[in-house]
Amino acid sequence: MTTNPSTELLDNLLTATGQTTAVREEVRVWSMSGVERVTFPDGSTAIFKYAKKPFDSEDQALRLAHTLGVPVPRVHASAVLNGWLGMLMEDLGPSVREAEDLDGVTATVILHSTRTASRLPVLDQERLRVLPARALDHLDQLRKADRWQDADDVEDALDRIAQAAGARSAGARLEPFGWVHSEFHPTSLHIGDHGWRLLDFARAFTGPGLLDFASWHGTIDAPHPVRLRVLLEQYVTAGGTPDALAPRGGLTAENWALGWHRMWAVEWFMEQAIRWINDPATDPAYIKAVRRHLTDVLHLLEI
């Protein structure tokens, strides 16, 4: 496992910004990334964020979003070392309240109206269609490593989804199609004394904006199409494209969004299991999450 080089990354960033030392205070740290508040000798502060692949290009996405007028924290400096990204960013200070649905609507109207950027990865209909096949490839790799041996039900579900994916992925390029935050939750929207900022652009891509709405309420609870429909209607009322309400793939917009978002999550979980985390001890948790999401996908996509 790659050693976390956060100390060396911070040293490089301090040098780049003309600072000598900083006191570090953890805000949130996990195996693949961390967020800290750093305080400089003059009392000023910044946010130090570090992350390993595949989260190592967030600085580019944030700078691009800022250039295009999306409210995001400023990146003061960034550096890459041994597959890890380090960033010193504007410290937005404490949030004054938690983000609510209408805050999310306001943010998506702006984000989805921002012109697309060629540097972002693309998730179009063809890439949606092959998500179940990619997940099956991950499952094959896991089994070759003598893992996930009792997951025939996962294979069966992915096979069924793969067969229906061509028809069900239709409409992926209906508007809104463009910037997708992809980790869009109330916690990724900072509301402070001077307005709001969007955080956490590590997995931003170009694709169907409906996936942002599908992620807003999280994936812990059962999917709630009626609640999502209300969110989409609020989005249109606030100036979002009316096509957000249009059926696609033979499904309602809300079922299409929730189903494909969970399929996207399944493929990501399985890639983490074999590639990015690659720790057999985590398999039971990953298998449980994948099974739950696949049940939702089959129901939502009417397969």
Position 121 pLDDT exceeds 80: yes
Q: What is the pLDDT of residues 167-186, one digit of tens each?
A: 999 999 999 999 999 999 99
Report the SS3 class of residue 92.
Answer: coil
Distance CA 236, CA 97 (A): 25
Report the SS3 class of residue 183.
Answer: coil
Q: For the chain, give the mean pLDDT.
A: 95
Distance CA 276, CA 253 (A): 32
Distance CA 20, CA 208 (A): 44
Distance CA 15, CA 284 (A): 43
Report yes or no on whether pTM surpasses 0.75: yes
Q: What is the pLDDT of residue 53?
A: 87
Mean pLDDT of 5-19: 93
Q: What is the DSSP string of 105-120?
A: HHHHHHHHTSPP-TTS
Q: What is the DSSP letter of 272?
A: I
Q: pLDDT-derived band of residue 202, with 50, 70 and 90 as boundaries? A: very high
Mean pLDDT of 19-35: 90
Position 108 pLDDT exceeds 70: yes
Q: pLDDT-derived band of residue 1, with 50, 70 and 90 as boundaries? A: very low
Helix axes 152-168, 253-271, angle to 10 degrees: 140
Q: pLDDT-derived band of residue 2, with 50, 70 and 90 as boundaries? A: low
Query: Cα dist. 8→3, 79, 84, 105, 275 in Å?
Result: 11, 10, 11, 39, 25
Q: What is the pLDDT of residues 259-273, one digit of tens each?
A: 999 999 999 999 999
Position 55 pLDDT exceeds 60: yes
Q: pLDDT-derived band of residue 231, with 50, 70 and 90 as boundaries? A: very high
Report the SS3 class of residue 156.
Answer: helix
Q: What is the pLDDT of residues 283-301, one digit of tens each?
A: 999 999 999 999 999 999 9
- Give the residue carrying structure tokens 């916690």: 187
Q: What is the pLDDT of residue 29?
A: 87
Q: What is the pLDDT of residue 61?
A: 94
Q: pLDDT-derived band of residue 4, with 50, 70 and 90 as boundaries? A: confident
Mean pLDDT of 162-168: 98
Q: What is the DSSP string of 221-260?
A: SPP-HHHHHHHHHHHHHTT--GGGGS-BTTB-HHHHHHHH
Higher pLDDT, 171 or 120: 171
Mean pLDDT of 33-47: 95
Map out the domains of the chain with their CATH numbers: 6-89 (3.30.200.20), 101-300 (3.90.1200.10)
Mean pLDDT of 136-146: 97
Mean pLDDT of 42-63: 94
Instruction: Answer for the pair 283, 149: CB distance below 8 angstroms, yes or no.
Output: no
Share of the chain above pLDDT 90, in %: 89
